[in-house]
Structure 1
Amino acid sequence: MDATILLVKNMVCQRCVMAVEAILAAGSIAFQKVTFGEIHLSGALSAEQKAYLKESLDKVGFEMIDSQTGGIVEKIKQLVIKRARNEVPDAERKIKLSLYLSDKVHHEYTYLSSLFSAVEGRTIENYFIEQRIEKAKELLIYDQLTLAEIAFELEYSSAAHLSNQFKKITGLTPTYFKAIGSLKRKALDKI
């Protein structure tokens, strides 16, 4: 049996993976593994299984990606999220974002950048910054690190740089955001 890989939009955390695994199990759909944005099936789906899977994924906020373009954009998003949240090995963190994405997606960065901008209506760099700010929000709400420690964790040059970028994106200072709490956080798939 050949493995089939389905691409799924909005899978950004381990709970997402578990939700998709539960959908597959409930539909008796054989799979090898589920990762962020991908379902590795054991074989091809019947028309009924595909319809069930599409409907079930839609109900919980996921979406099957049918086009190659959509797949590339989703792969870029998954890689940017991991990179912005420092969920990659140290060696990969030191590589420029453009080179990192080109290497992982196997396309020139200029192609990836223009494709992403055309589909998403924003640049990869803006998406990366927004993801870093969401991680900063999360760390501010946890209230376990100082702003300087958060800046270091997210590889900003200084707390002032993080603070300026935070205010530009959210309209709030990190201190004020911390005071009002989680009311201003966004789900990763809504960014």
Structure 2
Amino acid sequence: MDAMTWVGIISDTHGALDARAFAALSDCDHIIHAGDICGPSILRELECIAPVTAVLGNNDFLEYGSAVTRFARLVIDGVRFLVAHYPQDVRITYAGSSALAPGDPIPQVLVHGHTHVPKLETGPEARPASLLICPGSASLPRGGSPRSIAKVQVSKGRILGACVESLGGKPILTWG
């Protein structure tokens, strides 16, 4: 059986890391924070679990050093991710994207935060990527959603599945 990599996605912690979010991400091999971190201690706590890639949100300042910027482009187990806080920053249109330079490879997974509402889109809604995901908010959910995180399962350049789950472990949205 091929090894799989679990990518945990969290956003909008706003300075507080719920113990249930920490527990929900504890089986992840890599963690993405999609902005509104609101304190370097959040990233240090998450780094106790796995390597962390984070982007700045509208409530973040340049206190994280040069490793945390507006966009993150990374490859995990052969799968290309594009991460930004704002939904419009990960959308790729015929005019391009502010997060990609001409000639950059098209990401397979688009990740954003900011809305505090979970989203998992595939097909035409995610194109040209395969998957667009927002984990909702781990601290201040909106729209009747519970506090939540997301996970994406990848292996050898393929997306095997994705889910957004409440901090209580109940699936909210799933794919694959």
Same fold (TM over 0.5): no
Larger Rg: 1
Q: TM-score, length-normalised on structure 1? A: 0.27
Higher RCO (Cα < 8 Å, 6 or more apart) = 2
Q: Which of the two has greater strand per residue?
A: 2
Higher percent of residues as helix: 1
